[in-house]
Each structure stands twice: as C-alpha cells, then as structure tokens.
Amino acid sequence: MAQAFSYDFSTAGTPEDARRRLQGILTERLRRPGGGGAASNLHREMRLSRHTPTSLTYRPALRVPMPISIIVWLGRVLSAEKVDVTFSPNGGDGQTRVAVSGKVGRGGEAVADREFWDQALTASKWTQ
C-alpha cells in the first residue's frame, strides 16, 4: 500500500535560488533513499523527471532492465509513486516556502519521513 506525505519547510533565498541549491542534494538523496549502497536501493530509486524554475518532480527510476526490475518499476509507476517539491515566496523577508508532497510504496518509507527532508534541507546549508 502506498503512503502519502506532505510537509512544509522554510529556507533562505528566492524560490529560484532555493531550487538550484537543493536540486543536486535532493536528486542524490532520492537516488539512494535508504542510505545504503546501490544494491539496497535498486528498487527504491527516484529520478528527476521534470523541473521548472520553482518546482522539481521525481518518479521511480529503472536502472537495470531485467524482468524482476521491470516488474517492480512498473508496479511503482502504476501505484503513482512520485515526489513533488515546490518553491514559493514566504513573505517579504527573503525566505522561501518549500512544499514537499508525494506518495511512496512499501520500502520507500524513508522518503515519506519528515526527518529525511529535514536532513536534506540541513545538508543544503553546508553546500552553499
């Protein structure tokens, strides 16, 4: 069963700057959502599928075109797994509202956890 989630955060800068700063970090984190190696994340990976100046969309990734991988990937696609990240102004004080929402299936619970996103946003402060 898929698990839906939605969180709001605040970060410094304009929405466009925040998206540029966070895109690489989020893409890497969603490539290895369980924190382990490539083998442990093989069927949990997400890829950046669409981006605009103020949004990012991630969908399930298919890395190994083998029968079992294709079946797992197709199941994730059919259950509408995805992650959307939108950036919008948060008042006039140079802050940006970061809205994270999505749906992940069994095994992707780490991505649905607020702590996963807190850590990703905290990591972005050190890479500016």
The predicted-structure confidence for 64-75, as pLDDT tens digits, reads as follows 778 888 888 888
**Is the per-residue pLDDT at 92 higher than 90?**
no
The predicted-structure confidence for 21-60, as pLDDT tens digits, reads as follows 999 999 998 987 766 555 556 677 889 999 999 999 999 9
Quickly count: other Cβ atoms within 10 Å of residue 42's Cβ. 16
Report residue 8: phi and psi, to 5°: -120, 140
Q: What is the mean pLDDT of residues 76-105?
A: 90
User: How far, in Å, CA of 57 to CA of 128, rounded?
Assistant: 22
The predicted-structure confidence for 4-25, as pLDDT tens digits, reads as follows 999 999 988 899 999 999 999 9
Average pLDDT in the chain? 85
Quickly count: other Cβ atoms within 10 Å of residue 50's Cβ. 11
Q: What is the mean pLDDT of residues 91-115?
A: 87
